[in-house]
Every structure is written in C-alpha cells, then in structure tokens.
Structure 1
Amino acid sequence: MPPLLQLPPLAAPSASTPSATPSSSDPSSAEEAGEVLTMSCLGSLGQFGNQIFQYAFLKLFSELRGASIVCPDWIGRRAFALHDPLPPREPRLRLPFVADRVVLSHRGWRRWASEREPLASLLRANGGKALSGRALRRDFPQVSGDALSAEGARRLPRGSYDLCGWFQFHTSVWAAHTPRLRELFTPEPALRAALEALLLRLRRGGEGRTSRSPLAVLHLRVAQTRGGEARGEALHAGGGWVSEEWEDRYTFWCAPHEWFVRWVVAEAAAAAGGGLAVVICSDCPHAAEHIASRLPSACCQLRWEDVKGSAEWQAVWEAWRAVFDGHACEPLLRLFLDWWVMTQADRLAISNSTFSFTAAMLNAAGSQQRSVAERAPAFYRPVPEAGGLESFDPWDSKPLLTCAPEHAKALFGGAGSYS
C-alpha cells in the first residue's frame, strides 16, 4: 500500500500567530483550566477524508463539553486555518483513551493501545490475556453518534481524554452541525480566493462554452482497493499502526467504470442544450482516461493540466505555499484541489470513499442549486445492490457502504479487476 502523504514541517511559531500562545506549546496550562481533549491518531489513522471526520468530532465534542483541545498537525490545520494548540514533542501528552466503538474491533488498534490506558489496566486485570470483543465493548470507555448531541456529550465522565477512531457515524447525527462544519472546513481566505479564481478560469476553457454549464464532478477511487475486499486505508507504518492487522473486508471496493459512464450520459442528456462541464478526479490516470473517452459530445472535460501555466494556477500555488510556510508540495495541492472542486460541483458522483463523501457533505452548490420541484438530487454514489449509482443525501446516509460477498462475486467475478 502506498504511504501516507507526508506533511511539510511546521515553521517556528511567531508572536503574531494564534499558535504562539502559552497553551499552544504547553497543554498542561490548558489542563489547569479544565478538561482537555486530544486525538493522537489524527494524521495517522486514515487519509484526508477520514481526517475530516476525526477533526470534526474532536472539535464538536469539545465544544459541546466546554473542553479545551490539543490537536496534532494535519493537512487541514494549514488549509483551513485551524489554529488549535499543538501537543508538545517531549514529553508526549498521554491521556486515557476513549474509543469510537468501531475501532475496538480492529486487532491493529488493540495491539497498539495495549500499552496505553485504560487498556493496559484492563489487560493486567485479565491476567495478561487478550480481551474478547464483548469484554472490550463492556469495559472500555467509548463514544458513538449520540455524543454529538448536548445530552450525549455529557455522558462521558468529566476528565481529559485521547479520542481514537474514525467517527464515521450515520450522518443524520452530524446534520444539526452543518453550518459549523462548513465554517470549519472553509479554506484559508487567500487560498479560497485563489481557488475560486482558478475554477472560474477552468470553466472559461473550451472556447468559453462551459462557463454557464452545470459542473459535474466524478470521483474514481482506485488505489488500495480491489474486487470485494481491500486493506484498510492509510496506515502509517512509522506510527505504530500494524497494517496487516487492519484489513477491512468488503469495505474498500471500487465500482465498475461503466456505472459512472451511464451516470454522466444521463446527466448530459438532462442538461438539455446547455451542455455539461465535467471534471474527473481520480488517483488512477488510466481510470480517468477510460471515463473521458466515453464522455458524450454534450460534455466538455475540464482538466487542471489545461490551466497549470496560468496566472490563476500560480496564484493558487503561491497561496498554498504561504499556508504551508513555504514548504508546500504539489501532490498535496492536487489532492486538495480534487477535494475542493467536489465541494463546488452542481452534480457529484462519488466513490465508496470518505474523500468524496466528505466533499458531498460540505458541498453547498449542489444542495442549493435545485428547487424542490426540480427533477433530481445532486449527489450520487455506487450501490452494489442496485448495480449502479443512486442518489443519496450526504446528511442522512452511511459514509461507507459494504460490498457483500455475493455482490462482490457478481461485480468482479472473484477477481481483482474492476475496469
């Protein structure tokens, strides 16, 4: 599996930045004022889409409890200008774990957490023997989706904790926090302005024919997936995560390309004479080329490569370098560009991936551009049981769908090919 994209180093804090306050470098000062929450797994347990869920839970849960937070470095810290206090490098901040219920079932996490409290004490009390899943669920402090309500957030006893997990609850429990989440995950102001100018330049391509066309974005997730099963997403070998113990069967699967072709053909037909501007976001050039070759004539494909030499692209690059203190890298920018353009789409077809699912959640254009009387929702996802893409509500859905063995066999013929 490919390694995680590595963040550039943080620049030394200056007196003008919020992170230079005493609590930014010394979490103990925050702890003296009350409850402190952190999430040491952020940046290690999952890639960007997972990190959106993780940070969102840390932030909302802390606000509901009136707690301070200490947050590890992650992409969003710079891209969204989130100036939370950083944990000290030495000594490490060690707080008792509170787990997302789902993570308790993973052998990799249990092995890693066995040397941390409270699991270390639970194991000692059990004579050093491994605990069953039932015992863990009974005795280990944990949170679920109801922790995102004012009442549910207070059920955990008062104290300072290290939250660990994915927090990918059914999004109906997140819906009440929609305005706050969109506020949190808005790009840094200068970066946002540059991104909007770049998208306008991109849409003026193709002899100007796409500037007023609906923007349809497709996300084709291919890496780290295979027919019916795949290894877990984004495990950092250097951070203590044991990748061979984190296999998630039937969760990381890739829908056949034909499903996306059928969808974009239908969307182009529905766009009438106005045409359709199409952006294909993929971690696999072959997959993107395959879809592009099947686009109907009413579609105009827009590619970042077509504007890479423009003044608008240079402005985005300079803004990106600025938020990363001059240590920016282009692969990280391209990843963020793909995610951000999905938040701007009028029509969005996602993969079974938190990367595009979180973009759908934070997309305001697609959710507002049709009245109730108009024909269809703006968001679509692959559904194995349906054999194609179906409409969904990003704020009332499961973030990931499983592909059961019988559907995997029908889709992929028991092989690892899905093209």
Structure 2
Amino acid sequence: MNNSDKNIKYGTKSEVGRRAEVFGIFKQNDAGVDANHDTAPVLSMSSLGKFGRFGNQLFQYAFLRICSEASDARVECPPWIGQSLFGHQDAPITQRLPPAIEIKPNQATLFDIVPELIPYLEHLADAPSIQVDATTMDTGIQNYDLYGFFQLHSRYFQPHQACFRRLFQPMEDLKAALEPGLERLRAQGKTIVGLHIRRGDYLIEPRAGFTLVVPTAWYCEWLESIWDELEDPVLFIASDDSENILADFEKFSPVTMKNLDVQLPDRLKDSDAEFYIDFFTLTQCDIVCTSNSIFSFIACMLNERAKKFSRPHWNFETKFIDFDPWNSEPLLWLGDTQPKFLKSFTDIASIVYTTQGLGAALKAIFIYKPKSQIKQLLTRLYLGYQAQKVAGLIKSLLYTLGWSRAWDK
C-alpha cells in the first residue's frame, strides 16, 4: 500500500512540542523494515511529519526531493499530510540508514541545544552520522537518513524555484474545492490583502528565539499605512486565534476562511486539513503580511501574484519590514547577526512585556519558561540515557552544569 493510500491525520501540537516526537521514531519494532530491501541508492527522511508543523514539513520535503534528484536516489519517507494534499507517492521507509545531521554556519541548531540527540540517533541506527548543509542540494547524497529543519535562507532554494513550487501544488480535487472560495473572496474587491496572525504555541513558548507575538494594534497601523493607496481593498485574515482578534480589525471588515464556505474533498474530512484553506488563500493574495512564521513565509514563496510582502521584525520602532520571499531568512531570530536559539530571562521579560503586556510577561517568566526548561532537561536526560546509559546521564548532567564539552566526541 502506498503512503498516500493511508488516512493521514495532520497533527496540531505546538511547534516546539512536536519536535520531541522524533525521539521515538526508531523505537518502533522493525515490522515496516524490509530486510531484503532493494540495493539501489536511497535517501530517506524518517522524521518527516515530526520536526515541526506544516511549513517546516514543506521545507524538509523540498530539501529531501532536491537532494535526491541531485544524487539520483530513491526517496523514502513516512506518511505525512503533504501526500494527501499534493499527491506525492514516495516509497515508505524500508531500512534504517545512518543519520545525516543538518548544520548551520554561525547559528545554533536543535542538535547544538540538545547535544544528546546525535549520539542517540547514531545509537539507534548503529552507525556514525555525517553533517549536511545547503550545499548538499547541489552535491547530492545517497543512503542516509536526513535530520533537521532545513529552514535555509531562501536564496539557496531560488535555483530550484520551479521544482519547489511544483512540489506543492494542490491535487485537482482539492484545487477544485478551493477555487469557489477564492472566487467569493475576489468578488468582494480588487486588492486582496492577506494577514497571517500567529498566536497558539507562540504564546506558551517564549524561550524560543523566533517566537514573536505582534499586537493586533501594530497590524492595524500597518494596514492604515497602505489601505487608502489600494484599489478596492479586501482584508483576509488567517489565524489560529480568529475568535479573539477579529474584533480588533472591525474597521477593515475582515474575511476569514469561514466566510469562504470551502468544502474540502471527503477524503480529507478526517485529516484536520482545514488549515490548508488559510495557506492556499495566502498564496493567492495581492499583498501579504506574515507573522514570524514558516507557515506564511512558505505561502509567500508559492505566491506568484503578490507584489508586496511584509512581516514583523525585532526592531520595535519600525515594527514591520518588506522582504523578498526568495531572498530572505524564513524565520527572523532574535539577535540578527548572532541569532539566539533560546531567549534569555531578560529577553523574555522585555519582549513579552512590550508586545503583550505585564500579565503575559509574568506568565512567560514564572510559568512557561520554567515548564520549557524542565521539559528540555527531561528530554535531554532521556536521550542521554538511551544513547549511553548511566554514562550518558552523567554527561547530560555535566553539560547542564556548564561543562559544554561533555558530549564532544
């Protein structure tokens, strides 16, 4: 049975929380692994669907496919929501391959913050890992299992723009279901302005160096700065918190996906795929203003219609900045030239207070930050023990106490 024949349900857990799911990927038994697998070159990504949500998965799948084409390797991956949306029919995972770990020059990755993850994956695969980066899309790679987020500066994907966009076109029945809603939206005006407002997990993960929750008042100021210059504008809002923010945009008479009355194909009814209505609509807007989110950034990469793309950034004096989806960082990390994977106590207090107020800042400091730290520590201890038993536990504790070389090879 092809992966695409399975009933794939889209997960809606938090962006950061879902990362931990990958740690159990190889803990399953070997029922799905074929001991007599084909010896032809293979490139797999067994973590696809586990490292982050939809936008992250698109970057990961694009990296996988581009690398596989460069090396003439067969793609293998587990079932993921993109198969139902875009019709991909890649082979399922048939073998455990050595890990190929993403590295980023001058920027920490999850594998730096959780150093136990690499020895854990090497232990499970019973093979040493190698490192991969943006250049791997040109050089190719065979017979490895890719691990990472692959949220590369979009200039690295630009030479593959046609392939990238082709990978993420909705299946015919899905496109046919979406088009009437798009027509209803365009019938209301001539210039469709799309806003993506991310709340959800960004509110409860203040430590992450990319979580930026922008006040709705700032978005309204941005709209007011361009609204009168537009020809018959219509505001479309995509958000995971529509019920709580729509009233703030009342003067712009906002439209949401609920107003579009889109009926997804029956095969998607149990897949929690309604988010794709927002995503697809953002790819069709004339102007787009995003959150600091992969979801809306990649929608901009797929948007061939818009002439203006804007997003919030860490300079709270100017608040928003225009960007080129094909020549920008997908996420703006705090720290700019020296990106911070995790915010400091001071960062959290000042940023959340400025953007969300005193009450949210107190929650971030005394509830969300400690919970995140405890979860990270427990995850690291678990991985350390699984990788090297008691010795791994000791290394993890030493690393936590400040010995940064505890996990050096």
* Partner of residue 201, structure 2: 224
Which of 260, 274, 281 pairs up with 2:219?
260
Shift of the alpha carbon at 1:253?
2.0
> Retained in 2: the 8 A contact 1:54–1:166?
yes
Q: How does 1:385-400 map to 2 (within 5 A)?
A: 385-387=315-317, 388-400=319-331
Which of 134, 139, 158 pairs up with 1:145?
134
Deviations 1:122-177 (CA, angstroms, capped at 9, x unpaired): 9xxxxxxxxxxxxxxxx8511112222x2xx24x5xx4111011001111111111
Which of 17, 40, 43 pairs up with 2:49?
43
Give every structure 1 segment of 4 or more consecutive aligned residues whose post-TM-superposition deviation is greater than 6 Å.
25-30, 118-122
1:173 aligns with 2:132: no
Shift of the alpha carbon at 1:363?
0.7
1:292 aligns with 2:249: yes
The residue type paired with residue 230 of structure 1 is E
> Retained in 1: the 8 A contact 2:280–2:299?
yes
Which of 289, 295, 299 pairs up with 1:355?
295
Deviations 1:68-126 (CA, angstroms, capped at 9, x unpaired): 111111111110111111225xxxx311100111232131xx4455343268879xxxx
Deviations 1:352-374 (CA, angstroms, capped at 9, x unpaired): 1101111011111114xxxxxxx
* Partner of residue 175, structure 2: 192
Shift of the alpha carbon at 1:190?
2.0
Shift of the alpha carbon at 1:287?
4.2
Which whole-Å CA distance do the structure 1 matches of 2:37 and 2:301 have between them?
Answer: 32
The residue type paired with residue 299 of structure 2 is A
1:381 aligns with 2:311: yes
The residue type paired with residue 384 of structure 1 is W
Q: How does 1:237-252 map to 2 (within 5 A)?
A: 249-252=208-211
Aligned residues: 316
Which whole-Å CA distance do the structure 1 matches of 2:178 and 2:191 have between them?
Answer: 18
1:340 aligns with 2:299: no
Which whole-Å CA distance do the structure 1 matches of 2:314 and 2:167 have between them?
Answer: 33
Which of 93, 96, 114 pairs up with 1:94?
96
Closer/same/farther in 2, CA of residues 414 and 98 from structure 1, 3 Å limit? farther
> Retained in 2: the 8 A contact 1:276–1:300?
no
Which whole-Å CA distance do the structure 1 matches of 2:215 and 2:133 have between them?
Answer: 33
Which whole-Å CA distance do the structure 1 matches of 2:292 and 2:273 have between them?
Answer: 22
Which whole-Å CA distance do the structure 2 matches of 1:31 and 1:414 have between them?
Answer: 59
User: 2:43 aligns to what SS in structure 1?
Assistant: strand
> Retained in 2: the 8 A contact 1:30–1:36?
no
Shift of the alpha carbon at 1:413?
5.9
Which whole-Å CA distance do the structure 2 matches of 1:83 and 1:277 have between them?
Answer: 38
Q: How does 1:50-89 map to 2 (within 5 A)?
A: 50-87=56-93
Which whole-Å CA distance do the structure 2 matches of 1:249 and 1:118 have between them?
Answer: 28
User: 1:37 aligns to what SS in structure 2?
Assistant: strand
Which whole-Å CA distance do the structure 2 matches of 1:44 and 1:121 have between them?
Answer: 21
* Partner of residue 126, structure 1: none
The residue type paired with residue 132 of structure 2 is V
Which of 134, 141, 144 pairs up with 1:161?
144
Please give the TM-score of this superposition, normalised by the length of structure 2.
0.70
Q: How does 1:200-211 map to 2 (within 5 A)?
A: 200-204=183-187, 210-211=188-189
Shift of the alpha carbon at 1:306?
2.8
The residue type paired with residue 105 of structure 1 is D
Closer/same/farther in 2, CA of residues 266 and 28 from structure 1, 3 Å limit? farther
* Partner of residue 117, structure 1: 122
Which whole-Å CA distance do the structure 2 matches of 1:181 and 1:63 have between them?
Answer: 12
Return 5+ residue gaps in structure 2 as ranges: 1-9, 14-31, 104-108, 336-346, 364-409
> Retained in 1: the 8 A contact 2:98–2:126?
no
Closer/same/farther in 2, CA of residues 104 and 115 from structure 1, 3 Å limit? closer
User: 1:280 aligns to what SS in structure 2?
Assistant: strand
Closer/same/farther in 2, CA of residues 300 and 39 from structure 1, 3 Å limit? same
Q: How does 1:14-29 map to 2 (within 5 A)?
A: none
Shift of the alpha carbon at 1:26?
7.7
Which whole-Å CA distance do the structure 1 matches of 2:102 and 2:309 have between them?
Answer: 27
Closer/same/farther in 2, CA of residues 402 and 160 from structure 1, 3 Å limit? same
Which whole-Å CA distance do the structure 1 matches of 2:260 and 2:130 have between them?
Answer: 50
Closer/same/farther in 2, CA of residues 383 and 339 from structure 1, 3 Å limit? same
Please give the TM-score of this superposition, normalised by the length of structure 1.
0.68
Percent identity, please: 29
User: 1:398 aligns to what SS in structure 2?
Assistant: coil
Closer/same/farther in 2, CA of residues 38 and 266 from structure 1, 3 Å limit? same
User: 1:253 aligns to what SS in structure 2?
Assistant: coil
